[in-house]
């Protein structure tokens, strides 16, 4: 029996935004990966869905021989505005 070589895997790290939606679940976006949107019925489910969506997004880029984008520094500032 022939021994299988381990697959080379890269680890990518991205900021994910979890927004509470009107159904009580969470909508997840990843600013560094345009068009990536997924949902989950709770935070645990949403995180799992986001990890799967990111994995699929990157695999799709690799199939098209494109490099996954690097995350740029994002400033998070909460603004309070009186109207």
Nearest to 16 by CA among 35, 40, 32: 32
Residue pair 18/49 in contact (Cβ under 8 Å)? The answer is: no
Tokens linked to 21: 């939606």
Tokens linked to 48: 């799992």
Decide which of 3.40.50.300, 3.30.160.250, 3.30.1340.30, 3.30.70.260 is the CATH code for 11-83.
Answer: 3.30.160.250
pLDDT tens column, 13-71: 999 999 999 999 999 999 999 999 999 999 999 999 999 999 999 999 999 999 988 88
Between 53 and 78, residue with greater pLDDT: 53
Give the whole-angstrom CA distance, residue 25 versus residue 55. 21
3-state secondary structure of 26: strand
Show the DSSP H helices in 1-83 as ranges.
43-63
């Amino acid at each position: 029996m022939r021994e299988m070589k381990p697959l080379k895997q890269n680890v990518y790290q991205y900021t994910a935004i979890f927004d509470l939606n009107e159904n009580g679940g969470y909508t997840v976006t990843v600013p560094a990966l345009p068009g990536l949107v997924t949902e989950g019925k709770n935070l645990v489910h949403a995180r799992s869905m986001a990890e799967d969506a990111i994995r699929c997004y990157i695999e799709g880029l690799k199939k098209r021989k494109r490099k996954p984008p690097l995350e740029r520094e994002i400033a998070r500032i909460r603004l309070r505005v009186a109207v």
